[in-house]
Every structure is written in C-alpha cells, then in structure tokens.
Chains A and B, each alone.
Chain A
C-alpha cells in the first residue's frame, strides 16, 4: 500500500510538470511506433526505389528519401529500435552489474571495498568513449558486442552511487534494527537497504539512457559503431546521420531528421530525469 501511495504521488508530480509529461509522451510514442514500425510505415525496412533517390520531404515520403531511394521516415523508425535497444539494454545491464558490485562494496569489509573501488578508479581515469572504442575492437562491432562494451564502462556509475548510498544507509537505525533481530546479510542488503535507495538509482538510470544513446550515436557517426550491414540490427540513428553527413551540402534533409530524432529523444530523457530528480531526490545529493 505504501508503494501505491508513493507512485500515485509521483504521477501527480509528473502531471504538474508539462515538460516532463510531454517528454514521457514523446518517448512512449517513439518507442511504440518503432515497435510497430511495419504497421506505421507502408514501406519495408530495405525497400530500395531507384526512381526516387534523395527526394526532399513530401506527402509520400514525410522525411524524404536517402541515396538509395529508401524512405527516410521508415529508416528512422527502424533506427529507433537499435538506438533505444542499445540505450535501454546497456543501462539495465550496467544497473545489474553496478548495483551488485556497489552493494557488496559498500557493505563488505574494507579490503574488498578497496579492491573494487580501485578497479572503479581505473575506469574513471579514462574517457568513456575511448574505453568503448578499445573494447569494441575485441567484442566486435555488432549490437551484442556494442551492448556489452558499453555496459562494461557504464556500470561504474551505478557501482559508485550504490556504494555511497549503502555506506550511509548501513549506519542508520533501521539497518541496526534488522541486524538486531538476526536478519542475514543478503536479507539486510536486498530487503532493507536496496528498497530505501531506489530513488537515486532511478534518477541515475533516467540520465544514463540518453548518455548511452548519445555515446552510441557518436560512435556510429565517426564510423566506429555498429558495422553489421546485413543484420536487422545494423542501422542506428547515428549510422543514418553518418550516411547523411556525406550528402549534407546538397541534401541536408538526410542528416536533419535522424539528427532531430537523436536530439529530441536525449532531450526528453533529460527533462524527465530533471523532474524525477526534483521529486525523488529533494535533498539534492545528485546535483
């Protein structure tokens, strides 16, 4: 019942903030229409049409066509699947790894904590994108390899956050109480501490998804992202932008629409994150 009350409060707060609400609606629309892409768009994902190459936006082709006559709107819809899957998939994988490491690290004895935190330090000492690039050399430039190499870098954020929260929480009275009645360590961690630190984790999650989408599209744009042209999962928004980049001088629409999709999606997640932070983290620890 407690949770129900809390989520209703969350919904009320969200409704009072139009920017966050519209962001949520936008994300849902993008997500749903990319899932239902075959129903939304009359063109197939690979529908070449040599008679209509590089056409400007029209009623038939809302976003115009690309260099092979493919409908750009359709490509953006299918690209959304890849970009969102990478963003959301990576974030949840990172959340899983990072939270476990953070929980153990914050709760365990100093020796293990020190070891884990030194590993975290090394990851923090390098620019994210550089590590992605190095890892993707090994793991391959397909969607699975990319997902793994992106989460191998981003889990660090969750590990640091969770560790800090656990360090604070384990001094609090409710943990002491749980220990006094003889609860086991896993039970204290999972049933008592974890539910109490979900707020900051959810906020970080909301900011992580756009950061990963940005990283993936940047990688694809500079030609180091997914390179898997024969798979259904081979073309993200970043790849589309890269395609359009070469033709930008004469056919700006080919880069404009994928770019707009990336920008609006990242913006929506950030607006949503800002509002969630105000609601879930009123003391401003994550500021």
Chain B
C-alpha cells in the first residue's frame, strides 16, 4: 500500500513540475509585459528593471532560478506590488479564500445530505422530482447571478447583511451561500444516484428482511456504502470551489487569492499569475492524493491496482 501511495506522490510531483514548466513557458510567450506603459519608460529605467528581475538573462537560467526558488518556497517577486513577494501575498490571501471555501463546502454538505437522502428514499415520487428540479436549478444558476440576486434582495432591499465588507460575522453569510450552492446541488445529485443504487442492492433487502428498523437500514447500512463514491469527486469539487471563488470574491469584494489572481491577470503580473496557478495545482494534487489515501483505506481492492 505504501508503494502505491509513494507512486502517486511522485506522480503528483511530476504533474506540479509540468504545470510550473508550462506556465513558465506560457508567460514568456505572451506578448507585452507589466512594464509596458502608454508613455514609454526611459531606457535607463527599463534597463534597471530588467537588471533587478534578471529579465535579460538567458531563458534557461531564468527557468532554473525560478525552479530553485520554488523548491525553497519562494514564488518570486511581484511586478506590481514592489515591496511584496508573491509568497507574501499568497500567505495573506490564501487563508481568506480557504475559510470561504471550507464554509461553502460545509454549507453544501449540510444541504446535500438531507436533500439527496430524501430524493433517493422517495425515488420517483414528487419529493424526488422536486429535489431533482431544485438541484438542476442550483447547477444552472451562475455564481455571479446568484450573488447579485442575494445582494439585491438581502443587502439593498432588506438591509440584513452588509455586502462588500468582510470582518463582521454576518458578512460571510451571502458569499458562503453563493459559493456553496452549486456544490450543494452537485453533491445532492450524486448522493441521490449512489443511494438509489445502494438501496436496490441485495444486502439492503436482507437487512430489511431480518426486521431492522428502517432508519438503521438507511442511515447505517445504505449511507455508509454510498458515501465512499462521493470521495472521488473531492478534487473535482475543490476545483469548482476555486473557480467559484474567482467570481464570488469579485462580486463581494473579498480580499482573497482569487481576487488577487484576477487583478494579476489584468496587470500582467506574471510571477503572481504563475505563483497562484502553482498554489492551486498543489491544492488539487494534494486533494487527489488524499482521496487516493482514503480510498485505499476504505476499499482494499484499490491497493492491488
């Protein structure tokens, strides 16, 4: 089992190296740069900038310098925020995004568990159809429209929550709902279909036949066997939350990593773009590694593959 995990770990590192190399190459192909102004800077200034950031070095030595920095946890200097490194910026913005992501995930699970279970239990009834309808609505409603709608109803019309000012406890409520809604819909959908399959299985019939309480059959027998397939989508879910955070942080003016990434793209702050991309892929690779780990603990058959 440890050999299986070691292989996955090395593979994960290889993916990260590939991502680092690809983004590095990409950022050096892009025309234009962060120091292009409408009014051209004096040549002496440009030369100084190039010297400071080693922009005149051969590409290969820039690449090696970048990789060496990465190994030491140094993502390089930000071209836009002269006094801060990319690592600094990530260190101060990642916790904000992470908190939002965790809250959104918690919200999604809290909604998905009852909705998915109800829909599966009353399969093909109007309850099921209502749950499916709601889930399809949730998947189809873009984050920015839901966010706008919630702000319009709850901050502008009712004045219950302040939008765009983080720090108070209530100000996180609307962003959490906005970010978590599509994940909630997706998870309910998935839980419903795995549960329907499990409830139809023979061991559930056996459990019912021996006269077990219906609640125990559903929550103990069926649920336990339906949760593990949900683990596989953890990576996918995390990717969706990252994507969502770009929008939600933009809409609610939250100073998280997604918002900084978007500004970095408009500012053409290449080290920042590369750094954030790497942080996101590290998160995803780790999530997939954790899934592999959990999976091989839950399901021994995986180990032999």
With contacts A134-B277, A137-B265, A138-B26 taken as known, whether A222 is within 8 angstroms of B250 at the C-beta atoms is yes
Main SS of the interface on chain B? helix
Residues of chain B contacted by A259 (CB below 8 angstroms): 142, 145, 148-149
Contact of B273 (CB < 8 Å), options: A134, A217, A245, A252: A134
**Cα of A241 to Cα of B29 in the assembled complex, Å:** 32
Q: Number of A interface residues, CB 8 Å?
A: 37
CB A97 to nearest CB in B, in angstroms, measures 18
Partner-binding segment picked from B85-93, B111-119, B169-177, B279-287: B279-287
Chain B min CB distance to A257 (Å): 11
Task: Determine the distance from Cα of A216 to Cα of B29 in the docked complex, in whole angstroms.
Answer: 24
- A126 adjacent to B277 (CB under 8 Å): yes
Docked pose: A271 CA to B262 CA in angstroms: 32
- Asked if B225 is at the interface (CB within 8 A of a chain A CB), the reply is no
Q: Is the interface of A mostly helix, strand, loop or mixed?
A: helix
Instruction: Let me know if B15 and A122 touch, CB within 8 A.
Output: yes
* B47 → A minimal CB distance (Å): 26
Q: Which residues of A81-130 have CB atoms within 8 Å of chain B's CB atoms?
A: 121-122, 125-130
CA distance A214 to B15 in the complex (A): 28
Are A218 and B136 in contact, with the CB atoms below 8 A?
no
A248-B152 contact in complex given A218-B247, A267-B137, A284-B193, C-beta closer than 8 Å: yes
Nearest-Cβ distance from residue A79 to partner chain B, whole angstroms: 15
Total contacting residues, chain B, CB less than 8 A: 43
- Residue A262 CB within 8 A of the other chain: yes
Contact partners of B284 in chain A: CB under 8 A: 125-127
Task: Give chain A residues whose Cβ lies under 8 Å from the Cβ of B141.
Answer: 263
Per-position binary interface string of chain B over residues 124-141, scored 1 when its CB falls under 8 Å from any chain A CB and 0 otherwise: 000000001000110111
Residues of chain A within 8 A (CB-CB) of B268 are 137
Interface string of B252-271 (1 = CB under 8 A from A): 00000000011001101000
Q: In chain B, residues 1-60, which have Cβ atoms closer than 8 Å to a Cβ of chain A?
A: 15, 18-19, 22-23, 26, 29-30
Instruction: Tell whether A274 is near chain B: CB-to-CB under 8 Å.
Output: yes
| Residues of chain A whose beta carbon lies under 8 Å from any beta carbon of chain B | 121-122, 125-130, 133-135, 137-138, 210, 214, 217-218, 221-224, 241, 245, 248-249, 252, 255, 259, 262-263, 266-267, 270-271, 274, 284, 287
Give 29 CB contacts A-B under 8 Å.
A122-B15, A122-B18, A126-B19, A126-B239, A126-B280, A127-B240, A127-B243, A128-B239, A128-B243, A130-B242, A130-B277, A130-B280, A134-B277, A137-B26, A210-B140, A214-B142, A217-B142, A218-B143, A224-B265, A241-B144, A245-B144, A248-B148, A248-B152, A248-B156, A255-B148, A263-B141, A267-B136, A267-B137, A270-B136
Closest CB pairs A-B (n = 10): A267-B140, A129-B243, A127-B239, A259-B145, A266-B140, A127-B242, A287-B193, A221-B144, A127-B243, A222-B250
